[in-house]
């Protein structure tokens, strides 16, 4: 998917909100990586320690997907367009107030 065409859809200035990933839901399918016009996400392998206190279902998912999940690598670049929220098949992303 060409993610360079959707910047006009981003309504807000960067630095106000940023995505937060629900570690019990994410399956690392990378739809967010594909749709985000600002390169906010990457998918990588997390450690069990990084995944923290996730649900039993989340642990099973993480095991099945080799702990590959989306990481928010550039939270300050988020423009609050909401494309990632719509794209995530696991409904694993929320936008929350950004603070450094």
CA distance linking residue 41 with residue 63, whole number of Å? 21
Question: At 68, is the secondary structure helix, strand, or coil?
Answer: strand
If residue 83 lies in a helix (H) or strand (E), which one and from where to where? helix 83-87
Binding test (CB under 6 A) with ligand SF4, winner from 35, 62, 70, 92: 35
Contacts of 51 (CB under 8 A, 6+ apart): 23, 58, 59, 62, 67, 69
List the one residue from 26, 62, 70, 81 that touches ligand SF4 (CB under 6 A): 81
Q: Which is nearer to ligand SF4, 16 or 57 (CB)?
A: 16
Site for ligand SF4 contains 29 (CB under 6 A): no
Residue 15 near ligand SF4 by CB under 6 A: no
- For ligand SF4, the binding residues (CB under 6 A) are 10, 19, 35-36, 38, 40, 78-84, 95
């Amino acid at each position: 998917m060409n993610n360079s065409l959707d910047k006009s859809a981003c309504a807000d200035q960067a630095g106000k909100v940023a995505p937060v990933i629900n570690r019990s839901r994410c399956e690392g399918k990378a739809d967010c990586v594909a749709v985000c016009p600002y390169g906010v996400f990457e998918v990588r392998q997390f450690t069990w320690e990084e995944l923290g206190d996730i649900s039993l279902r989340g642990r099973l998912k993480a095991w099945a997907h080799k702990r590959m999940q989306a990481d928010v690598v550039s939270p300050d670049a988020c423009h609050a367009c909401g494309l990632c929220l719509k794209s995530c098949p696991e409904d694993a992303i929320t936008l929350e107030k950004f603070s450094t």
